[in-house]
A and B are shown apart, each in its own frame.
Chain A
């Protein structure tokens, strides 16, 4: 099985982190459903051209977070996640993206009022497009 994860060395963010964030998002958004068998550590490492050391770390961390389950001899599966957890993750992802936007705006010396009006402008533009 191939999972839609993209890793790029162009980003200063470590590969381990890139993979973990994307895999977590795929699980939380329900694109990878409960019970889905993930590729083996070696397979995913091969697909993403990274080492098994990195993938093992990602799988272990997500298992600790309760998103994955490993059954000896069969492999790693997507665990059951409470809907409230999924909601929480969605909210966090959106808040995080907004905070990032605020950071960039502040770096370019926009004040809060300008940021608010920019945000509304973007929303209106999107409405028209939709």
Chain B
């Protein structure tokens, strides 16, 4: 095995073993510590994956997916399942983001265990299992393996929401599990529709259609896109998201919004568009229209929200709308915008949920009506919230800008009356984003301190600063130097678009 293959296995195995160790170690705090160490080791293992053959050299026709490292082992030949992992410029940034956010969440749990549920140790173990599923999904180069990892996430996340969430957690958790399982089973049917027609589940071979007939591609794309639309979530299949986010504990919301939703958009790019390009071309106007509807409706619903976490949750619907709009254009600019939008949303919304959790923990309320004047009593918290909100609304120079701006640009470049209309509507939706986030800031930060806010102290715990600082830095760094993400993605995106008719 090469060093890269060892790393690939380590990225999946370390959190899995870490979860077992966390559950096995006696003592709650010791368990949480072991889990955090495992998460840190996972992050360390993801970083060197960037070194390797990036595939810029060579002559002749090249496959549409050129992993930097890959590992291909037989597992279940009877089900066309191979243990095939690989990483490239599309998946690597997401892999690092996943490892980073999980580490931050585990570290945060080391400091504070959400009230109302089981032990902190179990929470950390579940976070690590979720990490295994997400990382596996991003790394899988076998369709069936991809489906397997996609499913791994579901129950641990259910348990996190049901075990450590808010008052209405059971209903929200059940809704999350059933709704997303609905997506997963469609994925299962879509995957085997492709696999039985093509005779292989290898994503490297399958990318580009692999000679699938047009009707198979249309059916497969419909199933796969529906599956990923539930996960992303794309309006009108989003209704599980606000409840899940509102009820989930802070770390659950961070992982959910930060990386779990990305499984949907990543799957759309890598699997749906890659495997059924003709289907993607056929469905792109519908996807684009739905994406813009999501942007507009997400924004309008946000304007009417009265709960902090619910507002941020609905803002995810709008942001993921921009990502899907980028994918729907099927242009290099659009896909790049989608990828950087994914990363930016993960960083910024992760930060927003951390801050919302901190505010809720301190004031014991998330109602916007009961929150005001935060900057009077807790200026640092208010400042960070302002920073995150401004980053989220897409101010140039911060991470959120690139994804949203270039999704619109890509739609304009695609041309034609439909796409121009969509671009204009999406731009208007961007303005709505500014409106609801500024409304949020005016409600929460400004004005006289409310009864709930008045007793707050200005201090922030060291653990909080440690968890938030990397996200603040990343939001700035990706905003100022988008090449951090884009330089890795441009090659694979060109290669992928090379096979889309």
Q: Do A and B bind each other?
A: no
**Footprint of A on B, CB under 8 Å?**
none
**Footprint of B on A, CB under 8 Å?**
none
